[in-house]
Amino acid sequence: MTTFIGIRGTAIQAVSSDPANPELGQIWYNSSSGTTKGYRTVNAWSSGGNLNTAREQLAGAGTQTAALAFGGLTTVVVANTESYNGTSWTAVTTMNTARRALGGVGASNTSALGFGGFTTVRVGNTESWNGTSWTAVNALNTARVDIAGAGINTAALGFGGNSPPGVAVANTETWNGTSWTAVNVLNTARQALGGAGTNTAALGFGGILSGAAQSSTETWNGTSWTAGNAMNTARYALGGAGTQTAGLAFGGSSPAVSTATELYNGTSWTSNPTSLATARSSLAGAGTQTLGLAFGGATPTVSSATEAWNSVKVQTITVS
């Protein structure tokens, strides 16, 4: 008979409290609680509170428990802004310029930046959110729609998109809290791509070029973009969250509306067996690779759905 010590290399220990830094696959008996426990990564999406205004092509910022949703498209372009507390969304002061398919970044629901997008034309308008109201600030150098972003309110990166006369671009701009500066372009021009990270360590992934969904990934080091390993599922109009070395991609179109979720470790993407409950594209994201948030989008009808992504490390098995 195979024993655990033979396949794992260590005995199941009896301990009075859970180990502080268990190894992946480790099992132990907690004598205080009378339970056997194991350490494994369990990733899952769960339902959150619905947006007050269902919409697609919106932007997002913040964390899983302090997120901001702004702009987008219902049947018309909107300026609506909503703040999330981890449970429910609250309508707050609207943007100065209603638009869809804009870029958005920010550390929380009290500090965010919205830029670019489409009103009746492509715009470069940029607005800064202070937790109470939006203030118009200096515009992008290149007006565009379907732009991706990374960073925070005072240090952001905008990249890709679609610029007049209606072509995908590789343009990249960096924001210093006052103005945008054009910097080195993406290796692959595209629009409706996902973004994550900071303005000196960003991740760009997916998108669409000449009608074809893209799977390419690029990393930004503060000076230039470097091509990385491709996503498993080529798609555009997807959501993103996390960092350059711990990214999260979800939803989108390929061209069918997708539930796919992938995780990036700084080198390669891994498809996660747990997918979004609601397939949708043109959605927004916030948070991290372990505590993410997906909201809004199109199924293809506009959606108000919110889903929270959680990575739980300890799985408990009760002993009879």
- HEC profile of 122-177: ECCCEEEECCCCEEEECCCCCCCECCEEEEECCEEEEECCEECCCEECCCEEEECC
Residue 278 one-letter amino acid: T
Say how many domains are in the chain: 2
Q: How far apart are CA 228 and CA 130, in angstroms?
A: 35
Tell me: do 124 and 202 sit in the same domain: yes
Of 17-26, 89-98, 163-172, 302-311, the range with the lowest mean pLDDT is 17-26
**Beta pairing partners, 179:** none
Mean pLDDT of 203-215: 97
Tell me: do 21 and 103 sit in the same domain: no
Residues 6 or more apart in contact with residue 6 via CB below 8 angstroms: none
Tell me: do 125 and 155 sit in the same domain: yes
pLDDT of residue 320: 43
Tell me the pLDDT tens digit for each residue of 177-196: 999 999 999 999 999 999 99
Report yes or no on whether pTM surpasses 0.85: yes
Contact 234, 240 (CB under 8 A): no
Nearest C-alpha neighbor of 251 from the set 203, 210, 300:
300
Q: Tell me the average pLDDT of the chain.
A: 93
pLDDT of residue 5: 46
Tell me: do 71 and 166 sit in the same domain: yes
Tell me the pLDDT tens digit for each residue of 98-145: 999 999 999 999 999 999 999 999 999 999 999 999 999 999 999 999
Tell me: do 263 and 220 sit in the same domain: yes
pLDDT of residue 40: 67
Please count the CA atoms within 13 angstroms of the CA of 237 that sit on its side-chain side. 27
Of 41-50, 178-187, 219-228, the range with the lowest mean pLDDT is 41-50
Q: Measure the CA dihedral 244/230/305/127, to 10°.
A: 50
Tell me: do 143 and 205 sit in the same domain: yes
Tell me: do 61 and 25 sit in the same domain: no
Tell me: do 32 and 126 sit in the same domain: no
Residue 42 one-letter amino acid: V
Give the domain CATH number at 161: 2.120.10.80
Q: How far apart are CA 123 and CA 118, in angstroms?
A: 6
Q: How far apart are CA 163 and CA 185, in angstroms?
A: 14
Tell me: do 238 and 277 sit in the same domain: yes
Nearest C-alpha neighbor of 171 from the set 189, 155, 156:
189
Mean pLDDT of 61-70: 98
- Which phi and psi (to 5°) does residue 262 adopt? -130, 150
| Residue 77, domain extent | 50-310
Tell me: do 165 and 110 sit in the same domain: yes
Tell me: do 38 and 168 sit in the same domain: no
- Which phi and psi (to 5°) does residue 6 adopt? -75, -30
Tell me: do 192 and 76 sit in the same domain: yes
Contact 59, 71 (CB under 8 A): yes
Residue by residue, DSSP assigns the chain as: ---HHHHHSSPPEEESS--SSPPTT-EEEETTTTEEEEEEEEEEEEE-PPPSS--BS-EEEE-SSSEEEE--BSSSB---EEEE-SS-EEEEPPPSS--BS-EEEEEETTEEEEE--BSSSB---EEEE-SS-EEEEPPPSS--BS-EEEEETTEEEEE--EETTTEE---EEEE-SS-EEEEPPPSS--BS-EEEE-SSSEEEE--EETTEE---EEEE-SS-EEEEPPPSS--BS-EEEE-SSSEEEE--BSSSB---EEEE-SS-EEE-S---SS--BS-EEEE-SSEEEEE--BSSSB---EEEEEEEEEEEEE--
